[in-house]
Structure 1
Amino acid sequence: MVALSLAIATVLGVLLGLLVWDRNVPRSAVLTAAGIAITIPSLALLALLSPVLGLGWAPTVVSLVFYSLLPIVRNTVVGLREVPAHLVESARGMGMTPVRTLLSIQLPLAWPVIVTGIRVAAQLTVGIAAIAAYVAGPGLGLYIFKGLSSLGSVNALNFTLTGTICVVLLALVIDGAFVLIARYSTSRGLRV
């Protein structure tokens, strides 16, 4: 569920970032809208989506994509805006088209920043995915809600701790995977 949501959000977020990074008004509008959207409480968004999309995967994936967009769009915009102008001008002076300049110069230089945005979105998604159990979404949140709903029983704390610890471990594994992805997909000259 997290992987699917993150893949959709990455495609949408990077495309949005590519569309608005060099345009002041659309960039401000998109970043402001994404910033406002992320302030909506996740439980409220899930509750609003469930009558429309039903229970289970659909409201969960939509809400996770929704919350993942801000870090991905913002980092795509920041990464592209931080590419030195003289490199872009040199590429154009050598006869590169704007699309080739984007693909050959700008995106590779912005890639480490973009991957960091995807990494942040992944962490955010793992945490919010646990709350999706509220609308019968799959995942480790089922254990957390089962423990919370049976407070006072013998195994309530065990269920809650199991779900919480597994969410934390999953977040650490995903974070480690993104560290490796960033390391091996970034040009050696750009690695810090």
Structure 2
Amino acid sequence: MAADRDLATLARRDLEYRVSHDELTGLPNRTLLFDRVQHAAEATGRHQSALAVLLIDVDRFKQVNDELGYTAGDVVLAEVARRVSSVLRVSDTLARMSGDEFVAVCEDLGTVEEVVDQELESIVGRIRAALTRPVHAGGHEIVVTVSVGAARTARPCNARDLIDAADQAVYRAKHEGWGFVVVKDLHSATAAE
């Protein structure tokens, strides 16, 4: 009887994990991401510390899939996830948003705008540095670059608004070229590159 309950508990936990995590990378998926961003956005007001959402888009990923195949593409995505995860702060969350897009949720960035800017610059710098070594996939060395759109706020907000702002910022970054970064303050009309 106890063994059956243990098996049922394990099966339930496995199902819960599969529903909330990306199979390829093991990262939280889009559903869990929105939940975590919403909690972080609500907590921003209570903690009085800035929050940023970084949308990280792998440049030229379609080309990797088209020229080297989906298996090589999967290797690239898994390696990007591993490397980016390894350089984020312990308090940050990395999730897979969609095909070649990842999102880092960075809480408690500080209360002074200059400190927030420095912390964001440091995080993005570590992400870029982590991707400087080529990824080995399908007998090829693949140079990976990412475009980053960041949305930041120091006020409570809606998760959808924050992620949409990051999406607009990454669109602008990709329009500038590969490897660009655009930061948008959710509560101001300005964006910085």
- TM-score of the two chains, using structure 1 as the length reference: 0.31
Whose strand fraction is larger, Structure 1's or Structure 2's?
Answer: 2
- Decide which structure has the larger Cα Rg and report it: 1
